[in-house]
Amino acid sequence: MSSSLDLLKESTKKASELVSRHEFIRVYTHYDADGISAGAIVAKALLRAKKNFQISFLKTLNDDFEYEKGTLLIFADMGSAYPEKMSKVESDLIILDHHIPVGNINPKRNLVHINPHIFGLDGTYELSASGVAYFFAKALGDNNDLSSTAIVGILGDKQKFKGPNEVVLKEGKEGGYVEEKEGINLASGKIKKVLSLSLEPYLNFYKKDGELEEFLKKIKIDGEKDFEDLSFEELQRLSDAIALRLLKLGTYEGVFESIFGRRIVLKNAPIKSAALLTDVVNSCGRAGATGVAMGLLMGDRSYLDRALSIYEDYLTKVHEELLKRKNDVKEGFCMRYIVMEDAPTTSLIATTYSRYIFTEKPLIVINRKNDRVKVSARANEKIAQKLNLAEVMRLAAEKVGGVGGGHKVAAGANIPSNKIEEFLKEVDRICCTALA
């Protein structure tokens, strides 16, 4: 592994050389937790390197981006899957991504393309954009403290602490910025609230106050207590009870290792619980408050109250959706799907359902907003051994005149609104061929 990571690190040196030739840098990043934390890492590193920059958030590279010719452009958490767009850029270019690269980029000027997949590393589980940004930041200067920010992206993209991610965690611990404790990787705060609003894990307690009371009574835990104040024995009883509840719900077994065993504390972040900070950043991004999330990750505590209230509002909305849509999930032959109109989120619904409730087939979530149709597809690693969802999305979307791609286990597409049926049929057909 180390030699592959060494190659990646070597390319970060080339990227930092490219940075040194520019005074102003235009940064584009994705609006999810991984993208925002990658953006915060790049921003901090550029700030410390005394560079001027401007950062913007994009939902996809289908959106237009502006830049002045000749300005250095950095794309984080995107770019690798859009070779045509990248080939058109008339500027020096740095790509810090971990999505599966598609085709070839023919750069007009200098290009440094840093993506774990290129170096034989696992970009699906073992290095996210925030991690790539972290290694890039280290090439720019003494930025080991940003390891804690990188962890937000790792958790946000549901990755594992293996390979390069383990290196990020290790360096964070060695520097005293990150601490690992025994326990459950749940958000912090009042237990009742944490359990009813948690999405990772999704416990299905929202609006089930009676059931939650009963659950807590059985294990003799006071729901008014703060999570941090539980004794070791209480924490253990709670862990066991949560594991049991997840099993009954039908949770995919791969989820357990990310929830049980360790609790990550970010000692230099405005929210110490890594799980909570990740959820807060994610919510702010989804709610359109990328600036708040970014401010928080840059370490500005004045954003804390606003960020927390956006987080709670957003979680409430998502839980309402999760309750409401459960019965709309339909059975295909080799996948499940749901077609929604104007839902506030597709990806979180797709992620949560596919990890906790509808776990044993790929799940395709379709959201129609006006004439735009957004698709989120999810599968677990077990399914992904036979089926690459990024390919499924790309092929099925192309067939109906759309675009698709992403990761093996989490992919997406944009398709014309009159082609939903045809698209779903094609997805089902490809899934059946692969899973047969």
Closest CA to 326 of 312, 343, 309: 343
CB nearer to Mn ion: pick between 128 and 359? 128
Q: Which helix (H) or strand (E) holds 423?
A: helix 420-435
Residue 428 sits in the site that holds Mn ion (CB under 5 A): no
Q: Least distance from C-beta 417 to Mn ion, angstroms? A: 27
Q: Which stretch binds Mn ion (CB under 5 A): 31-39, 187-195, 228-236, 393-401?
A: 31-39
Least distance from Mn ion to the Cβ atom of residue 77, Å = 4
Segments in 49-162 forming alpha helices (H): 83-88, 129-140, 147-156
Q: Does 157 bind Mn ion (CB under 5 A)?
A: yes
Are 335 and 429 contacting, i.e. CB atoms less than 8 angstroms apart?
no
Number of CB atoms found within 10 A of residue 49's CB: 16
> Considering only residues 129, 275, 363, 373, which one is a binding residue for Mn ion as defined by CB under 5 A?
129
Q: Token digits for 19? A: 């940075």
Q: Which residue number, 157 or 428, has a Cβ lying nearer to Mn ion? A: 157
34 binds Mn ion (CB under 5 A): yes
Residue nearest to Mn ion (CB): 34
Residue 390 binds Mn ion, judged by CB under 5 A: no
Phi, psi of 184 (to 5 degrees): -105, 140
- Record the tokens describing residue 86, joined without a space: 């990248």
Closer residue to Mn ion, CB minimum distance, 167 or 340: 167
Closer CB to Mn ion, residue 81 or residue 235? 81
Total binding residues toward Mn ion, as defined by CB under 5 A: 5
> At closest approach, how far in Å is the CB of 127 from Mn ion?
10
* CB 401 to Mn ion: min, Å: 26
Looking at beta carbons only, is 157 or 279 nearer to Mn ion? 157
Residue placing its CB nearer to Mn ion in the complex, 158 or 192 = 158
| Residue 122 touching Mn ion (CB under 5 A) | no
Distance CA 16, CA 198 (A): 39
Contact flag: residue 77 with Mn ion (CB under 5 A): yes
Distances in Å between the alpha carbon of 349 and those of 90, 257, 329, 363, 373? 38, 21, 11, 10, 15
d(CA 224, CA 216): 10
Q: Which stretch binds Mn ion (CB under 5 A): 128-136, 209-217, 221-229, 313-321?
A: 128-136
Q: Cβ of residue 124: shortest distance to Mn ion, in angstroms?
A: 10
CB 268 within 8 A of CB 145: yes
Beta bridge partners, 378, equal 363, 410
Quote the least distance from Cβ 132 to Mn ion, whole Å: 9
Cα dist. 27→54, 96, 145, 436 in Å?
6, 11, 21, 43
What is the C-alpha end-to-end distance of the chain, expressed in Å? 33
- The smaller minimum CB distance to Mn ion, of residues 117 and 306, is found at 117
Residues that bind Mn ion (CB under 5 A): 34, 77, 128-129, 157
